[in-house]
Structure 1
Amino acid sequence: MPRVLIVGGPDNIRWIWKTHLDQQGLEVHVAADEDAAIEFLRRMDIDVIVLDVMLSHGAGFAVSDYAQFRRPDARVIFVTRDDFLSGGAIFQLSANACAAIPAHFRPADMAAMVAHYAQPQRRPADKVA
């Protein structure tokens, strides 16, 4: 079962997102800040990270950087309130970014996106001729 880690964001939003992701049949973990997120990444494989760029305690990019080192196959969906980052700059700032969504993104749409990125990655060698 694919594992998802939600990091940061307001408490109520984290739990709304978790509820929608649970409905997708994903194993969902929630971390309020950088320290908790890094502890999850240290202990377990994570397939997708939903990461609020503006953490109340810690730095979102520190979590992304640690994930790139510790869990290089984990895909990161950044949640941002900043138009600059949602315009594509996030892909230059983070090697493991797969998407950037606005903070007001509909939870059902976010859940569908996470479910998509949680699927095993196909490598070119996996393709059948």
Structure 2
Amino acid sequence: MAVVLVLEDDPGLRFMFTEALESAGHTVHAAADNDQAMSMLRRMIPDVLVLDLMIADGLSTDVANYAVYSAPSAGVIFMTGSGLFPKGELFGMSRNARLVLRKPVDVTELTTMVAHVTTPTDEMSLAQIE
């Protein structure tokens, strides 16, 4: 399974996302703010980052951009409840952005999307053939 970095400033949502992803078999590291997420990225290489777009100390795009260098193969799933960047602008702002989930996020959808982002393309093709 995957190593996931979750950045969510709401403690209840952070707990819910962490529990759901761990139940799906992933190793999860959870951060409450940008500084904590950046510190974690200096010590680990996640397979995927699940980032709340708008957190108390700003946008999480800085974390996504730092991950381009610290974990270049990691995909980013942004989550947002705002109308900011409604036309896909995040994909132009962040090279590693793979998906944007709108809040409220269904945990089944989140775990499915994490599995999708972390499955190599050749494995997906083989699974579709079988």
TM-score with structure 1 setting the length = 0.86
Find the residue that maps to 1:116 and give its secondary structure.
Answer: helix
Aligned to 1:12: 12
Deviations 1:76-118 (A, max 9, x none): 0001122343532211111100000112121111111112212
The runs of 5 or more residues in structure 2 that have no matched partner are 123-130
Partner-residue secondary structure (3-state), 2:4:
strand
SS of equivalent to 1:42 = helix
Amino acid aligned to 2:19: T
Structure 2 counterpart of 1:67, which letter? A
SS at match of 1:29: strand
Deviations 1:34-77 (A, max 9, x none): 11101111111100100011111243111011111211111000
Distance (Å, rounded) in 1 between the aligned partners of 2:104 and 2:37: 22
Q: Distance in 2 between matches of 1:57 and 1:79?
A: 16
Corresponding letter in the other structure for 1:81: G
Q: Confirm or deny: 8 A CA contact 1:68 1:95 kept in the other structure.
A: yes
2:118 maps to amino acid: A
Match of residue 62 from structure 1: 62
Alignment-mate amino acid for residue 101 of structure 2: I
Percent identity reads 35
- SS of the equivalent of 1:100 reads strand
What is the letter of the counterpart of residue 77 of structure 2? I
Question: TM (normalized to structure 2)?
Answer: 0.86
How many residues were matched structurally?
123
**Map of 1:94 onto structure 2:** 94
Structure 1 vs Structure 2 CA RMSD = 1.8
Residue 31 of structure 1 corresponds to 31
Question: Which consecutive unaligned segments of at least 5 residues does structure 1 have?
Answer: 123-129
Which residue of the partner structure matches residue 40 of structure 1? 40
Distance in 1, Cα, partners of 2:101 & 2:83: 10
> What residue is the counterpart of 2:74 in the other structure?
74
CA contact (8 A) 1:24 1:115 kept: no
